[in-house]
Structure 1
Amino acid sequence: MGKHRTAQQDAIFIAFMERHPMIAKNYLKGDKLAAEAAWKRLSKELNSVGPPVKEVCEWKRVWKDWKSCIRKKINNNRLEDSNACGKGSLYQDTLPALEDAVAVICDLYDKPDRVVESRPKARPEISNRLQLQDIKTDHDEVTATDDDDEEEDD
């Protein structure tokens, strides 16, 4: 697989998204034509310093994938923090400056962590030891009702 973008294209992406945070977060209400025109300008600027050279939809995918990768790192760090005992985890992902900038622009640090929140809470232990006399069977119920019927007939 080829390279997705260069360092210069990363810098262009960051500068553009800082100027257009609603596009960066994909909060496009109403003026989608203006947003599409902005993406076309960005694509032209990114392609001017390429390769790689991509279509608008491909650059959108690169941005979406980049954010997704950063979001996963942040969520992993939160999960590791919640599982850590003592000094913290050795498995934390450090975000380089560019990825940190993307996280700040897109408010990824402020998003709730779905992974940690959806993790089931610890349940109290339930004893699996059952006594045979505690288990009621269909036969026990039938016998009891049959005995009752016989007494009524007397």
Structure 2
Amino acid sequence: MSGKIIFRNATQDLLMMEFMIANPDFTRGMENRVVTAEKWEELLKALNSAGPPVKTIQAWKKIRANRIVSIRSKLAKSPSGDNLCPLETKVASICGLLGPPQGVVRSTRIKKQPVHLVLNEPQVKKKTLVRQKLLKKKPIVKKQPDLLVLNEPLVKKKTLGKQKFLAKKPIVKNESLSDDEGEWEDVDTKPLHNQQPGPMPKILQTLQTMTSQQAEHFRYIEEIEIRKLKVTKAIMENIAKMVNK
């Protein structure tokens, strides 16, 4: 017996075992609560009348649970049940410890088989038709490099524009001068420019004044540079004399 040992005499143990055998539903705990409470009251009177010891319902419930636990421990040592007494064997069979209890048929376990999705023939046909429609709607087009393609009207417009431009600006070829024109090629045209009225004479005067001013400026800079060279030469000579002394 495992757990806390609650003492009772042999008569009380015999009464409890016989009561459990006589009431299998009570032993298995399958009766209604009201009926179970009534039977516990009946068993309590019988057990306490066979005492001492005299105990409460809770104490006798613990004794009954410990009695079933002791039967299980014995069966764990020898599953055949050779070490059980006749009363314990009957209680073990009622509780389903040895085999299927009386009046109860054990349900056999059915192995779960994998569910395979099987498509009927019309469903397969529908799917294939849908795929064919999709392929027809969306044809696969290979990407090609972008090429600049000019349409015929654009080309015509461009050619017409070029022709108009060439018509406005005709190409003039360099032709050889005639004898009369060759005579005038070496003639100086400066007097003609001076005689022409307008702003040209003024522009020529301003250019002449600017060139003369620039020439004077460059001369002045040259004189300054010459003076600098003379001064530096004199300083170097004086330093050389001081060092030699």
Q: Which category of TM-score, normalised to the shorter sequence, fits these structures? A: 0.5 to 0.7
Instruction: Verify the 8 A CA contact 1:14 1:101 in the aligned structure 2.
Output: no
User: Which amino acid counterpart does residue 23 of structure 2 have in structure 1?
Assistant: H
Instruction: Determine the C-alpha separation between the residues in 1 that align with 2:89 and 2:13.
Output: 12
Question: Following the alignment from structure 2 to structure 1, what is the Cα–Cα distance between the partners of residues 87 and 22?
Answer: 15
State the partner residue of 1:12: 15
Q: Residue in 2 aligned with 1:64?
A: 65
In the alignment, residue 84 of structure 2 is paired with which amino acid?
Answer: L
Match of 1:94 in 2: 83
Q: Which has the larger radius of gyration?
A: 2
Q: Which has the higher contact order (CA 8 A, sep 6+)?
A: 1
CA RMSD of aligned residues (A): 2.4
How many residues align? The count is 97
Following superposition, the deviation at residue 2 of structure 1 comes to 7.5
After TM superposition, the score normalised by the length of structure 2 is: 0.35
Among candidates 83, 101, 109, match of residue 98 of structure 2: 109
Give a deviation string over 1:95-150, Cα, whole Å, max 9, x none. 12332232233232127xxxxxxxxxxxxxxxxxxxxxxxxxxxxxxxxxxxxxxx
Please give the residue correspondences for 1:99-138 in structure 2 after superposition, counting only pairs within 5 Å. 99-110=88-99
TM-score normalised over the length of structure 1:
0.54
For 2:88, the aligned partner's letter is E
Q: 1:23 aligns with which of 22, 26, 37?
A: 26
Amino acid at match of 2:60: W
Structure 2: segments with no counterpart, 5+ residues: 101-245
Instruction: Confirm or deny that 1:36 pairs with 2:6.
Output: no
Letter paired with 2:50: V
Q: Distance in 2 between matches of 1:24 and 1:36?
A: 13
